[in-house]
Amino acid sequence: MTSRPLAIAGAHEFTPTVFPDERGLFLAPFQEPAFTQALGHPLFPVAQSNHSRSKRGVVRGIHYTRTPPGTAKYVYCPTGRAIDIAVDIRVGSPTFGQWDSVLLDQEHYRAVYLPVGVGHAFIALEEDTVMSYLLSDSYIAHNELSLSPLDPELGLPLPQNGEAILSARDQAAPTLAQAHEQGLLPSYTECLRVQETTHH
């Protein structure tokens, strides 16, 4: 398994070795030794796993968890193709307001690690795109917040010609600047503190 840091502080991409044979193929989307080598700590204790299936053109996000408690994620696409996006919304972070993306597909089987406080979005590029992810904390509705993926300041690589399919919640979500003004964004130092306790 190889890894590389993304442009967002603390976020990483992982690419497993794929073993094809006459039966099909085998791979391990998460491998603790590679993860620990890349990040200097093991993966968080898993509190929940999520599974979603999306039509082509669906945009989910930008989602994040109020910090504290904060949630780290390890995201993988077992079926279909998606652009997975990490958005740094941590106030005080050296990469605040920036985003980076990874193509998750059935050729490289990459996975993405998003640290506590980083916003997450993805764009389904094919019908029946399945996303599977591990989370460091359980879902609690009032802690789950959303930012607008249509925010022109961010300029995410959304489907053109009005083809993006969004939930009502994501359509109505504030921009990064609006959420900042309203004090809804996590602080970088608080995210790092939670991160420190999450992985131990």
Which residue type is seen at 193? Answer: R
Q: Over the stretch 25-72, which tens digit does the pLDDT of each residue have?
A: 999 999 999 999 999 999 999 999 999 999 999 999 999 999 999 999
Say how many CA atoms lie within 13 Å of 72 toward its Cβ.
Answer: 23
pTM of this structure: 0.96
Mean predicted confidence (pLDDT) in 128-154: 97
Q: Over the stretch 143-184, which tens digit does the pLDDT of each residue have?
A: 999 999 999 999 999 988 778 999 999 999 999 999 999 999
* The pLDDT of residue 200: 62
Which residues are CB-neighbours of 128 under 8 A, at least 6 positions away?
A: 53, 54, 55, 79, 80
Question: What is the SS3 assignment for 50?
Answer: strand
Query: How would you classify residue 148: left for phi > 0, otherwise alpha for psi between -120 and 50, otherwise beta?
Result: beta
Q: Over the stretch 110-127, which tens digit does the pLDDT of each residue have?
A: 999 999 999 999 999 999
Mean predicted confidence (pLDDT) in 171-199: 95
The residues assigned a catalytic role are 63, 133
